[in-house]
Amino acid sequence: MTDVVGDPIELRRRLDEARAKGKRVGLVPTMGALHAGHRSLIDRAVTDCDVVAVTVFVNPLQFAPDEDLDAYPRTLDDDVALASAAGAAVVFAPDDAAMYPEPIRTVVHVEELSVGLEGASRPTHFDGVTTVVAKLFQIAGPCRGYFGEKDFQQLALVRRMVADLSMPVEVVGCPIVREPDGLALSSRNRYLSPDERAAATVLSQALAVGAAAVGNGERDPDDVEAAVAAVIAAEPRAALDYAAVRRPDTLQRPEIIDEPVRLLVAATVGTTRLIDNLAAAPPLPPG
Ligand code: AMP
């Protein structure tokens, strides 16, 4: 049976109790509307850890005023059922007052990594993410934290925050779960009309074209980004935000692609903004 807890102190008490018995704690932070992508994180945590807490909190701090905070899907009963079926011990689903009893005056800001890509069009987003994740880590206590590569920039930021602030958390990155046609699972996919849903596969197709170019020896990030952008441009329902080549750890743009890189893309399909990314590696030198 999976218990639902709304009180941060109660969650901490339970997880402290588990640690006192020598159990390893896993934490899976989410905003709910759980799908098979989240499930893969919970499955991994359940495999690695003795006690798994899934958090379900639609964090107002990471939404800009014009974003979809109110419309964001909230499906707690289904989320608890999914977490329970996956073997999570507890779902932490606090309300806004439990997480932010006072207007927050302390913000965790990760320099450089939070600038550009998602940070360009969502300038306050990552401060909201790192602040809430820091809070969740404080509430949960020492643990392993599971994050999806789907939000690649977020994962890089969380890793850096944990290292910089010596948080007692081991961050585990998990691969992107996709639909059979390549679309990365996302809670926002439910906003897509059938036509838009069909068009949304263009993101993963564009990334595959970029990764093939890198794999075939294209070393100029400009040309790879142009190849990705061209695929998106050919889909009338999609509008490109960015197509980017980045180093996977620092998220800096390489001058020349001489090591494995990450290709990242964001595009709006209809009115829904989608993101995706893919690893790409240059060919091995001959010999
Ligand atoms: P969210 O509820 O969108 O904040 O996502 C919670 C966690 O699930 C984040 O670490 C995401 O990166 C991860 N996640 C979301 N979609 C996927 C996916 N398709 N594959 C793997 N992880 C995912």
What proportion of the chain, given as a percentage, has pLDDT over 90?
Answer: 97
Check if the beta carbon of residue 272 is closer than 8 Å to that of residue 196. Answer: yes
Does residue 66 surpass a pLDDT of 80?
yes
Structure tokens at 193: 């009309």
pLDDT at 287: 73
Ligand 1 in reach of 127 Cβ (< 6 A)? no
Ligand 1 in reach of 54 Cβ (< 6 A)? no
1 pLDDT tier (thresholds 50, 70, 90): confident
**What does the alpha-carbon distance between residue 206 and residue 202 come to, in Å, rounded to a whole number?**
6
**What does the alpha-carbon distance between residue 79 and residue 58 come to, in Å, rounded to a whole number?**
13
From atom 11 of ligand 1, which residue's Cα is the shortest distance away?
148
Ligand 1 in reach of 186 Cβ (< 6 A)? yes
Is 38 one of the catalytic residues?
yes
* Chain centroid offset of residue 79 CA: 17
The CA-based dihedral angle spanning residues 43, 45, 51, 56, taken in that order and rounded to the nearest 10 degrees: -80
Mean pLDDT of the chain: 97
**What does the alpha-carbon distance between residue 195 and residue 226 come to, in Å, rounded to a whole number?**
25
Does residue 201 surpass a pLDDT of 90?
yes
pLDDT at 38: 98
Distance 211 CA to ligand 1 centre (A): 22
Strand, coil or helix: 230 = helix
285 pLDDT tier (thresholds 50, 70, 90): confident
Ligand 1 in reach of 205 Cβ (< 6 A)? no
Residues in contact with 9: Cβ distance below 8 Å, sequence separation at least 6, in sequence order: none
**What does the alpha-carbon distance between residue 237 and residue 106 come to, in Å, rounded to a whole number?**
40
Distance 35 CA to ligand 1 centre (A): 9
Does residue 98 surpass a pLDDT of 90?
yes
Structure tokens at 46: 């359940």
- Ligand 1 atom nearest residue 32's Cα: 2
**What does the alpha-carbon distance between residue 144 and residue 73 come to, in Å, rounded to a whole number?**
27
Does residue 163 surpass a pLDDT of 90?
yes
Pocket test for ligand 1, best of 34, 54, 58, 150 (most atoms within 8 A of CB): 150
From atom 6 of ligand 1, which residue's Cα is the shortest distance away?
30
Does residue 68 surpass a pLDDT of 90?
no
Pocket test for ligand 1, best of 129, 151, 274 (most atoms within 8 A of CB): 151
Ligand 1 in reach of 98 Cβ (< 6 A)? no
